[in-house]
Amino acid sequence: MRHLLSIDDVSADEIRMLFDTAAEMHDVQRRQVKKLPALRGRTVINLFFEDSTRTRSSFEIAGKWLSADVINLSAKGSSTSKGESLRDTVLTVTAMGVDGLVMRHSASGAAEQVSRWIDVPVVNAGDGTHEHPTQALLDAYTLTRRLGSLEGRHVAIVGDLTHSRVFRSNVKSLVKLGAEVTVVAPPTLMPAGVSTWSKEAGFATAWDLDEVLPHADAVMMLRVQRERMSGGFFPTAREYTVGYGLTRDRLARLREGTPILHPGPMNRGLEIAPEAADAAASLVLDQVSAGVAVRMSVLYHLLAGDEGVSA
């Protein structure tokens, strides 16, 4: 693995290897032994052209807990606000001698493009509506820790699929790990071409959430991304919640203990009721915690070379 731009870059075996390392990192995290020397002397830059709470801070923590020097640069406060191009920006920061680049950008394909301009490993931390591979890895890692093997498990991914890079990465990783995936959205938020893609990739599509939920071993709710809807939001928020929200009523109809995931940030009361977000079966904060361990694992495998994980 030279870069992590898409879940296409990793096989099922490589995902399992990343999970094994993440489990070691998680144990380190739990035992409060917070620093490993694996990336001592390496420098990682987090280049975020879109806002982030979870991804940016967990990559920063992950790098620091592996003893890397971590630099954060966002569009606001960098010379991109003066019109500097993406190419000039990444060539400039890599000329300073960084060893790895973590990047979020609003343009689909931006991370792939950057990986062709520079010689250091690039991690895609979300590119437009294309992919968010580390989110998918941490989601599958969290589910695996809760359910054991995902082989034959039925995962429902529900929500604004059109604008979701999380959905696009998650179907790939979950199918690779043997899960049966059904994606559910209103027709207006079902991406063009999904029916062809679903047949090729081996997942199902549905419009009726109430038909899918009783059969789900896990439910992943997605954020309604109103900031990406230039033409307005249809259905209305109220109609959306009635048709596709994980409401209190639907929560009561899930099989007991069905894990509930959401990548965050959540629109409480729109796609997920507070009672579902905070339910005993909710894995939302487990996902956040796993994000550090999984990102440590990714940085370690991309940047550590032959050096060991030992404390």
List the binding residues for L-aspartate.
82, 165, 223
Q: Where is 102: in which H helix or E strand?
A: strand 100-105
Chain residues binding ligand CP by CB under 6 A are 52-55, 126, 135, 263-265
The least distance separating ligand CP from the CB of residue 253, rounded to whole angstroms, comes to 27
298 touches 18 (CB < 8 A): yes
Note the Cα 222 to chain centre separation in Å.
Answer: 11
Does 121 sit behind a cis peptide bond, omega within 30 degrees of 0 on the bond before it? no
Total residue count of the chain as it appears in this document: 311
Q: Which residues pair with 158 in a beta bridge?
A: 184, 221
The least distance separating ligand CP from the CB of residue 292, rounded to whole angstroms, comes to 13
Residues 6+ apart with CB under 8 A from 212: 156, 158, 182, 184, 206
The least distance separating ligand CP from the CB of residue 114, rounded to whole angstroms, comes to 18
Comparison of 36 and 296: residue with beta carbon closer to ligand CP:
296
Comparison of 50 and 217: residue with beta carbon closer to ligand CP:
50
Distance CA 116, CA 2 (A): 12
Comparison of 94 and 164: residue with beta carbon closer to ligand CP:
164
Q: How many helices and strands in the chain, by DSSP H and E? A: 12, 9
Comparison of 265 and 305: residue with beta carbon closer to ligand CP:
265
Q: Which residues are annotated as a binding site for carbamoyl phosphate?
A: 54-55, 104, 132, 135, 264-265
Comparison of 37 and 264: residue with beta carbon closer to ligand CP:
264
